[in-house]
Amino acid sequence: MSEWGRGLAAVAVVASLHARMLRAQEGQTDRGQETFQGVCAACHTIGGGRLVGPDLRGVTERRSEQWIIDFVQHSQRLVSAGDSTAVALFKEYQEIPMPDQPLSADEVRQLLGYIRGASASGAGLGPVVAEATEEQILLGREFFQGTERFANGGPSCTSCHDVTDEAITGGGVLARELTTAFSRLGGPGVQSVIANPPFPVMQRAYRDNPLTEPEVAALVGFLGLVGAQQALHQPRGSGPKLFAAGLGGAVLLLALYSLAWGGRSRGSVNQRIYDRQIKST
Ligand code: HEC
Ligand code: HEC
C-alpha cells in the first residue's frame, strides 16, 4: 500500500470509530429524551417556562449532579432532612411534592445529558398555549361543570374540583380549588396537567376516557378566564403578581372584556346553547 493508501485507511478507521461513538452517544441521548418526554415533561419544560415544577433549563449548572440524583430519587427525603435548596423549592412550588422517580443514578445521568444538550441548543421545549377564543372559553365552562359532556365520557371537573365563577356552584372538594391554577401554573402548566395529569387520582379518572385536544383547549381557556376574573377582584398590590402569568393572562383578559361588553348576541356558542334548549323543550 502506498503512503497515500495507508493514510486514507487510517482516516477511514478513525471516521468509522468516531461514527460509532457518536451513535452510542446518540443512543444515550435518545433514552434520556424518552424518559424526559414520558415522565418529566408532564411537570417540567426545558426552556419553555415553569409548569407544575421549575423550568429545567440549565439545572445542571445551578445544582450538583449528586444533588439532582438524590432529589429525583426521593425529593421529600431531602426536604425532611432540611436541605435548604429542597425546602425552598418545595415552598415555592406550593408544597406539591415531586413524586419519587424509580430511576437509577445512571438513568438520571443519561437524563441530565439530554437536559444539558437541550438547554444548550436553546430549542425551547414545552407546550405552547394558543389564544383561547370566546367560544372556547364558554364551552370550557360547560365542560368544567358537566353541562356539556366530554366526547369520550370522562367525569366533569366539578366532580373533584371547585372554582370561583358566577356560573358554577357546588364543585367538588376532593381536589384543589382551581381559581388561581392559571396564575400559579401558567397557561402551559394548566394545559399540561389537564392533557396529561401527573396526579394519580386525576390520571385514573381520564385514563380510559381521555379528553380530546379541543376539550383541553377549551378548559385551559376557561381556567384563564376564571384567573383573570379573580385578578380583577384582587385588592391593589397583589395584582401584578397574579398577572405575572404574562401574555396569556393579558390575551385572556381581552377575551374577558369582549365577553362582558361585546359578543353576547353574536357568539356561536350562545346560538348552539339556544338551539339545544329549543330542541329539549
Ligand atoms: C408530578 C410532577 C412532577 C414530575 C412528574 C417530575 N417533577 Fe421534578 N419537580 C416537581 C416539582 C413540583 C418540583 C419543585 C420542588 C418540589 O415541589 O418538591 C420539582 C423539582 C425538580 C428539580 C429541581 C429543580 C431546580 O430548579 O433545582 C429537578 C432537578 C427535577 N424536578 C427533575 C425531574 C426529573 C428529571 C423528572 C423526570 C424523571 C421529574 N422532575 C418529574 C414536579 C415534578
Ligand atoms: C377524580 C378526581 C378528579 C377529576 C375528575 C379531575 N381532577 Fe384535576 N386534580 C385531581 C387531583 C387529586 C389533583 C392533585 C392536586 C390536589 O391534590 O388537589 C388535581 C390537580 C389538578 C390541577 C393542578 C392544580 C394545581 O393548582 O396544582 C388542575 C389544573 C386540574 N386538576 C384540572 C382539572 C380539570 C380541568 C378537570 C376536568 C377535565 C379535572 N382536573 C378533573 C383530581 C381530579
- Per residue of the chain (281 residues), give pLDDT as tens: 455 455 444 444 444 444 444 444 545 557 888 888 888 888 888 887 788 889 998 999 999 999 999 999 999 999 999 999 999 999 998 888 888 999 999 999 999 998 988 887 654 444 445 567 888 889 999 999 999 999 999 999 999 999 998 888 888 888 999 998 887 787 888 888 999 888 889 999 999 999 999 999 999 999 988 887 776 665 544 433 433 344 444 445 445 544 544 444 444 444 454 455 545 44
A 10 A CB-CB count for 67 gives: 15
pLDDT at 122: 55
| One domain, residues 249 and 177 | yes
For ligand 1, what atom is nearest to the CA of residue 75? Answer: 18
Q: Is residue 4 part of a domain?
A: no
Q: Residue 34: what pLDDT?
A: 85
146 and 275 inside one domain: yes
> Does residue 12 form part of some domain?
no
Q: Which residues pair with residue 168 across a beta bridge? A: 165
Pair (148, 213) in one structural domain: yes
Asked if 106 and 144 sit in the same domain, the reply is no
What residue ranges line ligand 2, CB within 6 angstroms? Answer: 96, 155, 157, 159-161, 174-176, 178, 181, 184-185, 190, 193-194, 199, 201-202, 205, 211, 219
User: Is residue 166 domain-resident?
Assistant: yes
71 grid coordinates: 432529589
Determine the atom of ligand 2 nearest the C-alpha atom of 206: 5
Nearest bound ligand to the CA of residue 156:
2
Number of domains in the chain: 2
In a domain, 150, yes or no: yes
Last residue of a domain, one of 121, 152, 185: 121
- Both 46 and 146 in one domain: the answer is no
In a shared domain, residues 264 and 156? yes
Helix 105-121 / helix 65-80 crossing angle, nearest 10 deg? 110
Q: Whose CA is nearest to atom 39 of ligand 1?
A: 40
Burial class of residue 155 in the structure, from the number of CB atoms within 10 Å of its CB (0-12 exposed, 13-18 middle, 19+ buried):
middle
In a domain, 20, yes or no: no
CA of 71 from ligand 2 middle (Å) equals: 24
Q: Say yes or no: 145 and 245 in one domain.
A: yes
Query: Are 192 and 110 in the same domain?
Result: no
Domain extent, residue 104, equals 26-121
Same domain, 144 and 273: yes
Q: Which of 186, 182, 187 is nearest to 165 (CA)?
A: 182
The closest of 222, 247, 252 to 139, measured between CA atoms, is 222
Q: Are residues 84 and 177 in the same domain?
A: no
Contacts of residue 216, Cβ cutoff 8 Å, sequence gap at least 6: 191, 194, 195
Do the domain assignments include residue 253? Answer: yes
Of the residues 35, 36, 44, 52, which should be mutated to test ligand 1's pocket, given the most ligand atoms within 8 Å of the CB?
Answer: 44
CATH of the domain at 63: 1.10.760.10
Kindly state whether residue 65 falls inside one of the protein's structural domains.
yes
Q: Which residue's CA is the nearest one to ligand 1's atom 30?
A: 72
Residue 3 lies in a domain: no
160: left (phi over 0), alpha (psi -120 to 50) or beta: alpha
- Where is the domain boundary, 121, 154, 175? 121
C-alpha 160 – ligand 2 centre gap (Å): 7
Q: Choose the residue to mutate in 202, 206, 213, 230 for probing ligand 2, maximizing ligand atoms within 8 Å of C-beta.
A: 202
145 and 270 both lie in a single domain: yes
Assess whether 162 and 209 both reside in one domain. yes
Q: Which ligand is nearest to the CA of 52?
A: 1
- Last residue of some domain: 89, 121, 153? 121
Q: Helices marked H in the chain — which ranges?
A: 3-35, 59-62, 65-80, 84-92, 105-121, 134-145, 181-195, 200-207, 213-233, 239-242, 247-261, 268-280
Nearest-atom number in ligand 2 for the CA of 144 is: 37
Separation of alpha carbons 278 and 257, rounded Å: 28
As a whole number of Å, the end-to-end CA separation of the chain is: 94
Identify which ligand lies nearest to the alpha carbon of 67.
Answer: 1
